[in-house]
Structure 1
Amino acid sequence: MTAIPTNSTIDSLGLSVAQKSTASTQGELGQDDFLLLMTTQLRNQDPTQPMDNGAFLGQLAQFSTVSGIQEMQAGFADLANSLYTNQALLGSSLVGRKVLIPATTVTLAEQGTIQGQLPADAGPDTRIRILDAAGQPVRTLAPTRTENGMSFTWDGLDANGERLAPGDYRVETVGTAGNYAPGIALEMEVSSVSLGRTGQALRLNLANGQSVELTQVQQIR
Protein backbone atom coordinates (compact mmCIF):
# COMPACT_ATOMS: atom_id res chain seq x y z
CA MET A 1 0.00 0.00 0.00
CA THR A 2 1.24 3.44 -0.83
CA ALA A 3 2.00 5.56 2.21
CA ILE A 4 -0.41 8.41 2.90
CA PRO A 5 1.29 11.73 3.69
CA THR A 6 0.49 12.88 7.21
CA ASN A 7 -0.61 16.36 8.19
CA SER A 8 2.69 16.98 9.88
CA THR A 9 4.54 16.08 6.68
CA ILE A 10 2.43 18.45 4.61
CA ASP A 11 2.65 21.20 7.20
CA SER A 12 6.44 20.86 7.26
CA LEU A 13 6.43 21.83 3.60
CA GLY A 14 4.61 25.03 4.45
CA LEU A 15 1.40 23.83 2.77
CA SER A 16 -1.63 24.44 4.93
CA VAL A 17 -5.24 23.86 3.97
CA ALA A 18 -6.04 27.11 5.71
CA GLN A 19 -3.89 29.03 3.22
CA LYS A 20 -5.92 31.44 1.06
CA SER A 21 -5.09 32.10 -2.55
CA THR A 22 -5.29 35.59 -3.97
CA ALA A 23 -5.72 34.18 -7.47
CA SER A 24 -9.06 32.57 -6.58
CA THR A 25 -10.46 35.99 -5.70
CA GLN A 26 -9.63 37.07 -9.22
CA GLY A 27 -11.68 34.28 -10.81
CA GLU A 28 -8.71 32.18 -11.99
CA LEU A 29 -6.43 29.47 -10.61
CA GLY A 30 -2.78 30.10 -9.96
CA GLN A 31 0.13 28.01 -8.70
CA ASP A 32 -0.91 28.36 -5.06
CA ASP A 33 -4.45 27.21 -5.87
CA PHE A 34 -3.20 24.19 -7.78
CA LEU A 35 -0.86 23.15 -4.98
CA LEU A 36 -3.57 23.69 -2.36
CA LEU A 37 -5.99 21.47 -4.28
CA MET A 38 -3.37 18.75 -4.61
CA THR A 39 -2.47 18.74 -0.91
CA THR A 40 -6.14 18.82 0.09
CA GLN A 41 -6.71 15.80 -2.12
CA LEU A 42 -3.85 13.96 -0.40
CA ARG A 43 -5.29 14.71 3.04
CA ASN A 44 -8.82 13.59 2.22
CA GLN A 45 -8.19 10.50 0.10
CA ASP A 46 -9.65 7.11 0.97
CA PRO A 47 -7.14 5.25 3.22
CA THR A 48 -8.22 1.94 1.69
CA GLN A 49 -7.65 3.18 -1.86
CA PRO A 50 -4.86 5.79 -1.69
CA MET A 51 -3.61 7.59 -4.76
CA ASP A 52 -1.01 5.53 -6.58
CA ASN A 53 2.40 6.90 -7.43
CA GLY A 54 1.58 7.25 -11.13
CA ALA A 55 -1.39 9.54 -10.50
CA PHE A 56 0.60 11.61 -8.03
CA LEU A 57 3.48 12.03 -10.46
CA GLY A 58 0.97 12.92 -13.18
CA GLN A 59 -0.39 15.79 -11.08
CA LEU A 60 3.13 16.98 -10.34
CA ALA A 61 3.83 16.97 -14.08
CA GLN A 62 0.70 19.05 -14.69
CA PHE A 63 1.81 21.50 -12.04
CA SER A 64 5.25 21.73 -13.65
CA THR A 65 3.66 22.35 -17.06
CA VAL A 66 1.47 25.17 -15.74
CA SER A 67 4.47 26.75 -14.04
CA GLY A 68 6.52 26.50 -17.23
CA ILE A 69 3.80 28.13 -19.33
CA GLN A 70 3.55 31.03 -16.91
CA GLU A 71 7.31 31.54 -17.00
CA MET A 72 7.23 31.41 -20.82
CA GLN A 73 4.46 34.03 -20.91
CA ALA A 74 6.52 36.27 -18.65
CA GLY A 75 9.52 35.78 -20.94
CA PHE A 76 7.48 36.75 -24.00
CA ALA A 77 6.26 39.87 -22.18
CA ASP A 78 9.86 40.86 -21.40
CA LEU A 79 10.83 40.24 -25.03
CA ALA A 80 7.95 42.39 -26.27
CA ASN A 81 8.99 45.25 -23.98
CA SER A 82 12.58 44.94 -25.18
CA LEU A 83 11.51 45.05 -28.84
CA TYR A 84 9.32 48.07 -28.15
CA THR A 85 12.28 49.87 -26.53
CA ASN A 86 14.52 49.05 -29.50
CA GLN A 87 11.80 50.30 -31.84
CA ALA A 88 11.66 53.61 -29.96
CA LEU A 89 15.44 54.03 -30.17
CA LEU A 90 15.41 53.27 -33.90
CA GLY A 91 12.54 55.66 -34.49
CA SER A 92 14.22 58.53 -32.65
CA SER A 93 17.37 58.10 -34.75
CA LEU A 94 15.35 58.49 -37.97
CA VAL A 95 13.80 61.88 -37.15
CA GLY A 96 15.37 64.52 -39.39
CA ARG A 97 16.88 61.92 -41.71
CA LYS A 98 15.92 61.48 -45.36
CA VAL A 99 14.53 58.19 -46.63
CA LEU A 100 13.94 56.81 -50.09
CA ILE A 101 10.43 55.40 -50.52
CA PRO A 102 8.23 54.38 -53.50
CA ALA A 103 6.19 57.47 -54.47
CA THR A 104 5.04 59.51 -57.44
CA THR A 105 4.15 62.76 -55.63
CA VAL A 106 6.64 64.93 -53.80
CA THR A 107 6.55 68.29 -52.03
CA LEU A 108 9.02 70.93 -53.19
CA ALA A 109 10.18 73.17 -50.34
CA GLU A 110 11.33 76.78 -50.59
CA GLN A 111 14.70 76.73 -52.38
CA GLY A 112 14.59 72.94 -52.08
CA THR A 113 15.64 70.12 -54.38
CA ILE A 114 14.18 66.70 -55.07
CA GLN A 115 16.16 63.49 -55.42
CA GLY A 116 14.92 60.13 -56.64
CA GLN A 117 15.91 56.77 -57.99
CA LEU A 118 14.77 54.25 -60.58
CA PRO A 119 15.45 50.49 -60.54
CA ALA A 120 18.38 49.03 -62.45
CA ASP A 121 16.09 47.54 -65.12
CA ALA A 122 14.93 50.97 -66.31
CA GLY A 123 15.75 51.51 -69.98
CA PRO A 124 18.61 53.80 -71.05
CA ASP A 125 16.17 56.12 -72.82
CA THR A 126 14.09 56.66 -69.65
CA ARG A 127 13.38 60.28 -68.78
CA ILE A 128 11.91 61.86 -65.65
CA ARG A 129 9.06 64.28 -66.19
CA ILE A 130 7.90 66.73 -63.51
CA LEU A 131 4.29 67.94 -63.57
CA ASP A 132 2.69 70.70 -61.50
CA ALA A 133 -0.60 70.49 -59.56
CA ALA A 134 -2.56 71.18 -62.76
CA GLY A 135 -0.86 68.25 -64.53
CA GLN A 136 1.23 70.47 -66.81
CA PRO A 137 4.83 69.34 -67.51
CA VAL A 138 7.38 71.80 -66.15
CA ARG A 139 10.68 69.93 -66.50
CA THR A 140 12.17 66.80 -68.09
CA LEU A 141 15.34 65.22 -66.65
CA ALA A 142 17.73 62.52 -67.82
CA PRO A 143 18.63 60.17 -64.92
CA THR A 144 22.19 59.09 -64.25
CA ARG A 145 23.05 55.39 -63.98
CA THR A 146 24.57 54.32 -60.63
CA GLU A 147 25.45 51.05 -58.89
CA ASN A 148 21.94 50.80 -57.38
CA GLY A 149 20.00 51.81 -60.47
CA MET A 150 19.35 55.22 -62.02
CA SER A 151 19.22 58.37 -59.93
CA PHE A 152 18.12 61.93 -60.63
CA THR A 153 18.06 65.32 -58.92
CA TRP A 154 15.59 68.11 -59.62
CA ASP A 155 16.76 71.56 -58.56
CA GLY A 156 13.25 73.03 -58.45
CA LEU A 157 13.65 74.97 -61.71
CA ASP A 158 11.41 74.75 -64.76
CA ALA A 159 12.53 74.24 -68.35
CA ASN A 160 13.35 77.98 -68.62
CA GLY A 161 15.56 77.95 -65.51
CA GLU A 162 13.07 79.80 -63.30
CA ARG A 163 12.38 78.82 -59.70
CA LEU A 164 9.01 77.16 -59.26
CA ALA A 165 6.70 77.81 -56.35
CA PRO A 166 6.80 75.43 -53.35
CA GLY A 167 4.09 72.76 -53.35
CA ASP A 168 3.22 69.29 -54.53
CA TYR A 169 4.52 68.00 -57.86
CA ARG A 170 4.03 64.73 -59.65
CA VAL A 171 6.96 62.67 -60.91
CA GLU A 172 6.60 60.20 -63.77
CA THR A 173 8.83 58.38 -66.19
CA VAL A 174 8.74 58.63 -69.98
CA GLY A 175 10.30 56.18 -72.45
CA THR A 176 9.94 54.94 -75.99
CA ALA A 177 6.84 52.99 -75.01
CA GLY A 178 5.14 56.07 -73.56
CA ASN A 179 4.43 56.86 -69.93
CA TYR A 180 5.29 54.18 -67.40
CA ALA A 181 6.45 54.04 -63.78
CA PRO A 182 9.04 51.32 -63.16
CA GLY A 183 9.25 51.75 -59.39
CA ILE A 184 10.06 55.42 -58.84
CA ALA A 185 11.49 56.08 -55.36
CA LEU A 186 11.66 59.65 -54.04
CA GLU A 187 13.60 61.14 -51.16
CA MET A 188 11.51 62.35 -48.21
CA GLU A 189 12.40 63.85 -44.84
CA VAL A 190 11.18 62.18 -41.65
CA SER A 191 9.51 64.66 -39.29
CA SER A 192 8.38 62.19 -36.61
CA VAL A 193 7.67 58.51 -35.99
CA SER A 194 4.74 56.54 -34.59
CA LEU A 195 5.63 53.48 -32.53
CA GLY A 196 3.74 50.33 -33.43
CA ARG A 197 1.97 48.20 -30.81
CA THR A 198 0.48 44.69 -30.91
CA GLY A 199 2.29 43.63 -34.05
CA GLN A 200 2.09 46.97 -35.86
CA ALA A 201 5.18 48.17 -37.69
CA LEU A 202 7.01 51.42 -36.98
CA ARG A 203 5.49 54.23 -39.09
CA LEU A 204 7.41 57.22 -40.40
CA ASN A 205 5.58 60.55 -40.59
CA LEU A 206 7.08 62.53 -43.46
CA ALA A 207 7.46 66.28 -43.83
CA ASN A 208 4.87 66.36 -46.63
CA GLY A 209 2.18 64.84 -44.39
CA GLN A 210 2.47 61.28 -45.65
CA SER A 211 2.84 58.32 -43.30
CA VAL A 212 4.58 55.10 -44.38
CA GLU A 213 5.73 51.91 -42.69
CA LEU A 214 9.42 51.38 -42.09
CA THR A 215 9.25 48.28 -44.32
CA GLN A 216 8.62 50.55 -47.34
CA VAL A 217 11.91 52.39 -46.92
CA GLN A 218 14.44 51.46 -49.60
CA GLN A 219 17.30 53.60 -48.32
CA ILE A 220 18.11 55.85 -45.36
CA ARG A 221 20.30 58.85 -46.08
Structure 2
Amino acid sequence: MTAIPTNSTIDSLGLSVAQKSTASTQGELGQDDFLLLMTTQLRNQDPTQPMDNGAFLGQLAQFSTVSGIQEMQAGFADLANSLYTNQALLGSSLVGRKVLIPATTVTLAEQGTIQGQLPADAGPDTRIRILDAAGQPVRTLAPTRTENGMSFTWDGLDANGERLAPGDYRVETVGTARNYAPGIALEMEVSSVSLGRTGQALRLNLANGQSVELTQVQQIR
Protein backbone atom coordinates (compact mmCIF):
# COMPACT_ATOMS: atom_id res chain seq x y z
CA MET A 1 0.00 0.00 0.00
CA THR A 2 1.37 3.43 -0.95
CA ALA A 3 1.76 5.82 1.97
CA ILE A 4 0.55 9.39 1.65
CA PRO A 5 3.61 11.70 1.61
CA THR A 6 4.09 13.77 4.76
CA ASN A 7 6.15 16.95 5.03
CA SER A 8 9.22 14.94 6.08
CA THR A 9 8.95 12.47 3.20
CA ILE A 10 8.31 15.29 0.74
CA ASP A 11 11.50 17.03 1.89
CA SER A 12 13.49 13.79 1.54
CA LEU A 13 12.32 13.43 -2.07
CA GLY A 14 13.69 16.82 -3.08
CA LEU A 15 10.28 18.47 -3.07
CA SER A 16 9.28 21.82 -1.67
CA VAL A 17 5.79 22.90 -0.72
CA ALA A 18 4.34 26.37 -1.06
CA GLN A 19 2.94 27.69 2.20
CA LYS A 20 -0.84 27.64 2.40
CA SER A 21 -2.81 30.40 4.06
CA THR A 22 -5.39 29.29 6.61
CA ALA A 23 -8.54 31.26 7.28
CA SER A 24 -10.20 31.32 10.67
CA THR A 25 -13.54 29.59 10.88
CA GLN A 26 -14.65 31.50 13.98
CA GLY A 27 -18.07 33.07 13.58
CA GLU A 28 -19.26 30.56 10.97
CA LEU A 29 -22.44 28.53 11.57
CA GLY A 30 -22.28 24.83 10.84
CA GLN A 31 -24.85 22.09 10.41
CA ASP A 32 -25.20 21.48 14.16
CA ASP A 33 -25.77 25.19 14.81
CA PHE A 34 -28.48 25.34 12.16
CA LEU A 35 -30.25 22.31 13.64
CA LEU A 36 -30.02 23.80 17.15
CA LEU A 37 -31.56 27.08 15.99
CA MET A 38 -34.45 25.30 14.27
CA THR A 39 -35.26 23.03 17.24
CA THR A 40 -35.03 25.99 19.65
CA GLN A 41 -37.47 27.91 17.47
CA LEU A 42 -39.91 24.98 17.52
CA ARG A 43 -39.58 24.56 21.28
CA ASN A 44 -40.29 28.22 22.01
CA GLN A 45 -43.04 28.90 19.47
CA ASP A 46 -46.43 30.22 20.57
CA PRO A 47 -48.82 27.20 20.90
CA THR A 48 -51.73 29.40 19.80
CA GLN A 49 -49.83 30.49 16.69
CA PRO A 50 -47.69 27.52 15.62
CA MET A 51 -45.23 27.80 12.77
CA ASP A 52 -46.79 27.72 9.34
CA ASN A 53 -46.30 24.40 7.53
CA GLY A 54 -44.84 26.17 4.52
CA ALA A 55 -42.30 28.01 6.65
CA PHE A 56 -41.38 24.80 8.47
CA LEU A 57 -40.86 22.93 5.19
CA GLY A 58 -38.82 25.86 3.89
CA GLN A 59 -36.48 25.65 6.87
CA LEU A 60 -36.16 21.89 6.41
CA ALA A 61 -35.25 22.49 2.77
CA GLN A 62 -32.63 25.04 3.84
CA PHE A 63 -31.27 22.55 6.34
CA SER A 64 -30.98 19.88 3.62
CA THR A 65 -29.28 22.38 1.30
CA VAL A 66 -26.72 23.35 3.94
CA SER A 67 -26.04 19.68 4.69
CA GLY A 68 -25.60 18.86 1.00
CA ILE A 69 -23.22 21.78 0.45
CA GLN A 70 -21.09 20.72 3.40
CA GLU A 71 -20.91 17.15 2.12
CA MET A 72 -19.96 18.43 -1.34
CA GLN A 73 -17.25 20.65 0.15
CA ALA A 74 -15.88 17.67 2.08
CA GLY A 75 -15.84 15.64 -1.14
CA PHE A 76 -13.95 18.38 -2.98
CA ALA A 77 -11.46 18.59 -0.11
CA ASP A 78 -10.83 14.83 -0.33
CA LEU A 79 -10.38 15.11 -4.11
CA ALA A 80 -7.93 18.00 -3.70
CA ASN A 81 -5.90 16.01 -1.15
CA SER A 82 -5.82 13.02 -3.50
CA LEU A 83 -4.63 15.16 -6.41
CA TYR A 84 -2.01 16.79 -4.18
CA THR A 85 -0.73 13.36 -3.14
CA ASN A 86 -0.54 12.19 -6.76
CA GLN A 87 1.29 15.41 -7.63
CA ALA A 88 3.86 14.74 -4.90
CA LEU A 89 4.43 11.17 -6.10
CA LEU A 90 4.80 12.32 -9.71
CA GLY A 91 7.23 15.04 -8.65
CA SER A 92 9.41 12.60 -6.71
CA SER A 93 9.65 10.31 -9.75
CA LEU A 94 10.98 13.19 -11.90
CA VAL A 95 13.91 14.16 -9.66
CA GLY A 96 17.13 13.15 -11.40
CA ARG A 97 15.36 12.54 -14.71
CA LYS A 98 15.96 14.51 -17.90
CA VAL A 99 13.16 16.34 -19.69
CA LEU A 100 12.74 18.10 -23.01
CA ILE A 101 11.44 21.66 -22.67
CA PRO A 102 11.20 24.60 -25.10
CA ALA A 103 14.34 26.68 -24.55
CA THR A 104 17.03 28.63 -26.37
CA THR A 105 19.62 28.78 -23.57
CA VAL A 106 21.38 25.78 -22.08
CA THR A 107 24.16 25.23 -19.55
CA LEU A 108 27.11 23.12 -20.67
CA ALA A 109 28.60 21.09 -17.82
CA GLU A 110 32.21 19.93 -17.47
CA GLN A 111 32.74 17.23 -20.13
CA GLY A 112 29.00 17.41 -20.78
CA THR A 113 26.90 17.12 -23.92
CA ILE A 114 23.68 18.83 -24.98
CA GLN A 115 20.78 17.10 -26.69
CA GLY A 116 17.78 18.72 -28.33
CA GLN A 117 14.91 18.23 -30.72
CA LEU A 118 13.11 20.11 -33.48
CA PRO A 119 9.49 19.60 -34.62
CA ALA A 120 8.69 17.24 -37.48
CA ASP A 121 7.88 20.11 -39.86
CA ALA A 122 11.39 21.59 -39.66
CA GLY A 123 12.87 21.91 -43.14
CA PRO A 124 15.67 19.64 -44.39
CA ASP A 125 18.05 22.61 -44.63
CA THR A 126 17.59 23.53 -40.96
CA ARG A 127 20.81 23.81 -38.98
CA ILE A 128 21.53 24.30 -35.28
CA ARG A 129 23.93 27.09 -34.36
CA ILE A 130 25.57 27.32 -30.93
CA LEU A 131 26.61 30.75 -29.65
CA ASP A 132 28.71 31.62 -26.62
CA ALA A 133 27.90 34.22 -23.94
CA ALA A 134 29.30 36.98 -26.18
CA GLY A 135 26.97 35.97 -29.03
CA GLN A 136 29.76 34.52 -31.16
CA PRO A 137 28.98 31.32 -33.13
CA VAL A 138 31.11 28.40 -31.94
CA ARG A 139 29.53 25.43 -33.71
CA THR A 140 26.95 24.58 -36.38
CA LEU A 141 25.20 21.20 -36.34
CA ALA A 142 23.06 19.31 -38.84
CA PRO A 143 20.12 17.65 -37.03
CA THR A 144 19.14 14.06 -37.77
CA ARG A 145 15.64 13.13 -38.93
CA THR A 146 13.78 10.86 -36.46
CA GLU A 147 10.25 9.53 -36.00
CA ASN A 148 9.39 12.42 -33.67
CA GLY A 149 11.01 15.19 -35.70
CA MET A 150 14.68 16.12 -35.87
CA SER A 151 17.20 15.60 -33.08
CA PHE A 152 20.73 16.84 -32.47
CA THR A 153 23.56 16.29 -30.01
CA TRP A 154 26.29 18.81 -29.23
CA ASP A 155 29.40 17.26 -27.73
CA GLY A 156 30.63 20.53 -26.22
CA LEU A 157 33.33 21.03 -28.86
CA ASP A 158 33.79 24.05 -31.10
CA ALA A 159 34.22 23.99 -34.88
CA ASN A 160 37.94 23.18 -34.42
CA GLY A 161 37.30 20.22 -32.13
CA GLU A 162 38.39 22.06 -28.98
CA ARG A 163 36.54 21.53 -25.71
CA LEU A 164 34.64 24.68 -24.72
CA ALA A 165 34.44 26.02 -21.18
CA PRO A 166 31.40 25.12 -19.06
CA GLY A 167 28.72 27.79 -18.94
CA ASP A 168 25.62 29.11 -20.65
CA TYR A 169 25.26 28.88 -24.42
CA ARG A 170 22.50 30.00 -26.76
CA VAL A 171 20.97 27.65 -29.33
CA GLU A 172 19.24 28.91 -32.48
CA THR A 173 18.07 27.61 -35.86
CA VAL A 174 19.47 28.83 -39.18
CA GLY A 175 18.82 28.03 -42.83
CA THR A 176 15.02 28.28 -42.52
CA ALA A 177 12.50 30.58 -44.14
CA ARG A 178 12.31 34.05 -42.62
CA ASN A 179 8.67 33.65 -41.59
CA TYR A 180 9.24 30.32 -39.85
CA ALA A 181 11.59 29.45 -37.01
CA PRO A 182 11.04 25.91 -35.68
CA GLY A 183 10.87 25.70 -31.91
CA ILE A 184 13.84 24.13 -30.14
CA ALA A 185 13.39 21.74 -27.22
CA LEU A 186 16.48 21.13 -25.10
CA GLU A 187 17.22 18.30 -22.69
CA MET A 188 17.70 19.37 -19.07
CA GLU A 189 17.99 17.52 -15.76
CA VAL A 190 15.45 17.95 -12.96
CA SER A 191 17.16 18.63 -9.62
CA SER A 192 14.06 19.17 -7.47
CA VAL A 193 10.33 19.82 -7.69
CA SER A 194 8.15 22.50 -6.09
CA LEU A 195 4.57 21.64 -5.15
CA GLY A 196 2.30 24.65 -5.55
CA ARG A 197 -0.89 25.36 -3.69
CA THR A 198 -4.08 23.60 -4.74
CA GLY A 199 -4.85 24.48 -8.34
CA GLN A 200 -1.30 25.53 -9.17
CA ALA A 201 0.91 23.59 -11.55
CA LEU A 202 3.83 21.45 -10.45
CA ARG A 203 7.11 23.30 -11.06
CA LEU A 204 10.35 21.59 -12.04
CA ASN A 205 13.59 23.10 -10.75
CA LEU A 206 16.30 22.33 -13.29
CA ALA A 207 19.99 21.72 -12.67
CA ASN A 208 20.91 24.97 -14.46
CA GLY A 209 18.81 27.05 -12.05
CA GLN A 210 15.78 27.49 -14.28
CA SER A 211 12.26 26.67 -13.10
CA VAL A 212 9.47 25.57 -15.45
CA GLU A 213 5.94 24.25 -15.11
CA LEU A 214 5.26 20.58 -15.74
CA THR A 215 2.92 21.57 -18.58
CA GLN A 216 5.94 22.84 -20.55
CA VAL A 217 7.59 19.42 -20.64
CA GLN A 218 7.45 17.83 -24.09
CA GLN A 219 9.14 14.57 -23.18
CA ILE A 220 10.43 12.78 -20.07
CA ARG A 221 13.55 10.69 -20.60
TM-score of the pair, normalised by structure 1: 0.84
Q: CA deviation at 1:16?
A: 49
Deviation at 1:138, TM superposition (A): 0.9
Compared CA separation, residues 161 and 75, structure 1 to 2 (3 A) = same
Unaligned runs of 5+ in 1: none
Report if aligned partners of 2:5, 2:85 keep a CA contact under 8 Å in 1.
Answer: no
Change in 2 beyond 3 A, CA 1:154/1:6: closer
- State how many pairs are aligned: 221
| Bigger RCO (CA 8 Å, 6+ sep) | 2
Cα distance in 2 for residues equivalent to 1:142 and 1:96: 29
The more displaced of 40-49 and 140-149 is 40-49
Q: Which residue of the partner structure matches residue 129 of structure 1?
A: 129
TM-score, L = length of structure 2: 0.84
Query: What displacement does 1:48 show?
Result: 2.7
Q: Which residue of 2 aligns with 1:65?
A: 65
The superposition leaves residues 6-50 of structure 1 with CA deviations (integer Å, 9 ceiling, x where unpaired) of 999999999999999999993222222211221222122232332
Q: Please give the alpha-carbon distance, in whole angstroms, between the structure 2 residues aligned to 1:16 and 1:211.
A: 13
User: Which residue of structure 2 aligns with residue 220 of structure 1?
Assistant: 220
Does the alignment pair 1:180 with 2:185? no
Query: Corresponding residue for 2:49?
Result: 49
Query: d(CA) in 1 for partners of 2:197 and 2:97?
Result: 23
CA contact (8 A) 2:115 2:152 kept: yes
Distance 1:14 1:137 in 2: 37
1:78 positional shift:
1.3
Could you tell me how far apart the structure 1 residues matched to 2:92 and 2:205 are? 12
Give the share of equivalent positions with the same residue, in percent: 100
Assess, with a 3 A threshold, how the Cα gap between structure 1 residues 4 and 30 changes in structure 2: closer, same or farther: farther
Asked if the contact 1:133/1:168 (under 8 Å) is kept, the reply is yes
